[in-house]
A and B are shown apart, each in its own frame.
Chain A
């Protein structure tokens, strides 16, 4: 038996407290858009168990309900944002679970996180560049260049230096010492890049890892935005024109346009959860500036839905008459606008969401249709060292080749000309 000394007051306080505590979840269920929340969390939200699931694990229903409520609670993202802001802006701490910080320099540790950081992103950048790995990378790069090249078409592979290698000496002590040492070694070991460049030249394509050029500039203010994971502004322009100057010598002198400093937003918004203002030094291209062509993008998207993500830039002022296709990971999103200045039309195919069926259509239909003057692959060094730069493109190229071989053998002159018709029917 439970009595209250002052029932009205006691009950009011308890009910009031219960109502106040229920606000995050009750209001969350009422106001949160589940699709938007799922996008913000980058995973599906926990759902109410089906009757079958509840029957199989009746006690588990409580846990599922708890997960469901937690996913939909009001203030989840706001709280994380506030805490990140407090940690970064006020306390000078990293301000995000997936990053480490040394002064202004922020380094991404992991693209996703389960508990403690594993520093997978830094491991990938600073992976050992031994001879065997180098040979493998060079061979695989050759496969890509070969698949998209024709005698009239230039092929290029741009490997962008990432921050853990370029600024290895600025990795904070939070990064394990052996990993920091590996990054310092990666800085010094450019053998693989020289080998890649030579092999590419021999095979008729361009391969560039502009590490030395980046290293010369790395300490200039606003070259590689310290708060960013990606190249942006000056460094993105520098990488783009490094390639343009080698594809079309004499036309593009690095740093030839004027530069200005602008306020911009840092990348990794899903880590910080708020727009972190940064200073970017960006070139002023003037009339030659490339702009997005959304109509062209929508048209390509509609015709090649498996390719998933197209971006198109046009720079009609220049009138070079050239077209390019860029295939790359997130680094290409930052570099492509600067590359686009060198072409009338530049079509970027974002590789991170590409799957084999889309990649196959890319080589068999998209590139032949666009018929570009240049195909440029852009990834950062980590993607090359881990082989992710080549997926799923290699698989698509292999399958396309196998299919082409089968088709060719099927079309070989048959002993009895009448057999050809049967083979055609099979195909």
Chain B
């Protein structure tokens, strides 16, 4: 089940809100119950994988908490190994056997349960934080299960640290401002996903789905631009919806995006893009590896390793490996000296460099394989080919691209913030009633427009005059 579907918006969510409004002491049980239904609706029996993960991490947490010295470290290692083994089996075994070891046919047909990377990383962060003493043992299986399975951020993040929600899992206060902010965030996220990401996705899918040899340079460029906007607004939309739902329930999830496309270096981009993942890797991989404390060479090696892992986290394919290494390479180069050079250049040049690198990376990320990515790069220089950009460029797409480009920056938000209550991940004081009314009207309208598009999208005409 996805947030932008009829069944979630008009069936699951109202049923959940109705129960949540009545909940008091049973709030966690209700949230867990709905989360399991949410997961089972999309993944069927694979809900058992999540239940197994909950049981494993509950047990590992208790063993870590009770052990002392080396044993404590051993239980942590075992706990993490169990999580990684599960992730490895479902996500990487096929890739390892077929693409790395060349054992075609040895492993096939392993289903990848939705959100497994997210809930596994959350669980690992719980075990590590517990071991480090940064959070207390969660003795209640219900609370730990609620943390791991919580449906708002289950499918697409943000990756929430246990420490940041532990208190709220015990006792949380929901204010009217939380509810209105949650609604604004959800509506804004839904609009980003449905009105922008899904619209540009049609062009991106059509162009990336076409034989790259057929694409003229303008079509290839449109494919890259459309995908650049699609992935941002899609991911941003899901994150905002997750944060909004969490806020309505009294949880404060972390901000996941901070206008990444206005970054002036690739290093800055990774401070603004999928923040919960990059900080996860920083805290649980980069720093334990030594971070930047062991000299330049070791720092570069650590960065490369972290970005190899980042690439693999996104998917089990060579394209993701190369995408991760590509970003890692630019981070290393920037740290080795390019960063200092960039700092002296005009902002526009720095922005263009960053966006160029990021967009080139998205080609690797989106392509079917490395040959396809190479062909798309080749198409970017092809002046004569059968398929121009006009083949997919409708007025709706053009308007959406313009809106998307305008909205990637913080400027519109800054312009409107004084007049209208806008969605904000950070807690803000209660807005002026007029601003709140305008905010609700604006985002209510966006919600209705998104709902219309979702409803319309389920109509697939079949014309009866078969010939």
Contact = CB atoms under 8 A, between A and B. Distances in A.
A114 interface: yes
Contacts of A6: 175-176
A104 B12 CA distance: 43
A113 B24 contact: no
B174 interface: yes
Q: Which range contains the number of B residues in contact with the other chain? A: 35 or more
A173 B207 CA distance: 13
Most buried by A among B12, B171, B250, B466: B466
Interface size for chain A: under 10, 10 to 19, 20 to 34, or 35 or more residues?
A: 35 or more
A62 B179 contact: no
B9 A21 contact: yes
Contacts of B463: 42, 98, 108, 111-112, 268, 270-271
A80 interface: yes
Interface string A54-84: 0001011011011101100101111110111
B27 interface: yes
A300 B265 CA distance: 78
B14 A66 contact: no
B166 interface: no
Contacts of B40: 59, 62
Contact of B387 (A82, A176, A389): A176
B388 interface: yes
Interface string A337-366: 000000000000000100000000000000
Interface stretch (B15-23, B98-106, B147-155, B350-358): B15-23
A83 B452 contact: yes
Nearest to A77: B459
B7 A21 contact: no
Given A11-B21, A116-B206, A17 B395 contact: no
Interface residues of B, dominant DSSP: helix
A15 interface: yes
Contact of A25 (B11, B37, B248, B456): B11
A43 B466 contact: no
B467 A21 contact: no
A23 B14 CA distance: 9
Contacts of A388: 466-467
A251 B288 CA distance: 95
A399 B41 CA distance: 50
Contact of A5 (B176, B209, B451): B176
A190 interface: no
Interface in A91-111: 91-94, 96-98, 108, 111
Contact of A1 (B172, B210, B455): B172
A92 B395 contact: yes
Interface string B1-42: 100011101111111111011111101000000000100111
A112 B16 CA distance: 36
B411 interface: no
B17 A14 contact: yes
B432 interface: no
B17 A271 contact: no
Contacts of A382: 467
A123 B24 CA distance: 61
Interface string A383-395: 1001011000000
B175 A10 contact: yes
A382 B390 CA distance: 27
Interface string A23-66: 11100000000000000011100000000000001011011011
A112, A229, A379, A380 — most chain B CB neighbours (10 Å): A112
Contacts of A57: 44
A19 interface: yes
Contacts of B21: 10-11, 14-15, 18
A70 B6 contact: yes
B166 to A, nearest CB: 13
A25 B454 CA distance: 13
Contacts of B394: 87, 91, 93-94
Given A24-B6, A177-B214, A76 B174 contact: no
B24 A13 contact: no
Nearest to A272: B461
Given A2-B20, A83-B452, 18 more contacts: A2-B174, A3-B24, A6-B176, A10-B174, A21-B13, A21-B14, A24-B451, A42-B461, A63-B42, A66-B7, A67-B7, A69-B7, A78-B455, A91-B395, A92-B395, A229-B465, A388-B467, A389-B467
> What are the nearest 7 A-B pairs in CB distance?
A177-B386, A66-B7, A2-B27, A330-B465, A14-B21, A79-B455, A18-B17
13 contacts: A5-B175, A10-B21, A13-B179, A13-B180, A79-B453, A96-B461, A111-B462, A111-B463, A112-B461, A112-B463, A176-B214, A177-B214, A331-B467
Interface of B: 1, 5-7, 9-18, 20-25, 27, 37, 40-42, 44-45, 47, 170-176, 179-180, 183, 205-206, 209-210, 214, 248-250, 386-388, 390-392, 394-396, 399, 451-453, 455-456, 458-467
